[in-house]
Amino acid sequence: MRWCADWTEPEPRPAPPASIAWTQWHVIWWWSTVLDRSFGDGQPGRQEVTWPGAAEARAAIDELRRSWIERLDSLSESDFSEVH
């Protein structure tokens, strides 16, 4: 089974309460987007990022964190001042 976020356009005001699953998915989607925009070739669409389940979500977030730190550590001082 694949779980992906339910997204309404335009977003309702006020926003409905967020579940823990939606919050975990949002962190995974956000960090995946930041990594891909910063070091990849675009950004994943909302439907491309799925919620892996409660136990796997923590591992996915930990892996995204590790990847972010590794990529930042690989940059030189001058890389931080470049504009793309």
Q: Is residue 64 part of a domain?
A: yes
Q: Is residue 1 part of a domain?
A: no
Give the Cα separation of 2 and 63 in Å (integer). Answer: 20
**Count of domains for the chain:** 1
Helices assigned H by DSSP within the chain: 20-39, 54-73
pTM for the whole structure: 0.78
- Between 12 and 56, residue with greater pLDDT: 56
> In sequence order, what are the residues at sequence separation of 6 or more whose Cβ sits closer than 8 angstroms to the Cβ of residue 44?
29, 32, 33, 36
Q: Is residue 11 part of a domain?
A: no
Q: Is residue 46 part of a domain?
A: yes
The distance from CA 54 to its chain's CA centroid, rounded to whole angstroms, is 16
pLDDT at 2 over 70: no
pLDDT digits over 9-55, tens only?
Answer: 788 889 888 889 889 999 999 999 999 988 888 777 777 888 899 88
Lowest mean pLDDT among 1-10, 36-45, 57-66: 1-10
The whole domain housing 37 covers 20-75
Q: Is residue 14 part of a domain?
A: no
Residue written as token pair 């590794």:
70
pLDDT of 73 reads: 94
| Structural contact between residues 43 and 33, judged by C-beta atoms closer than 8 angstroms | yes
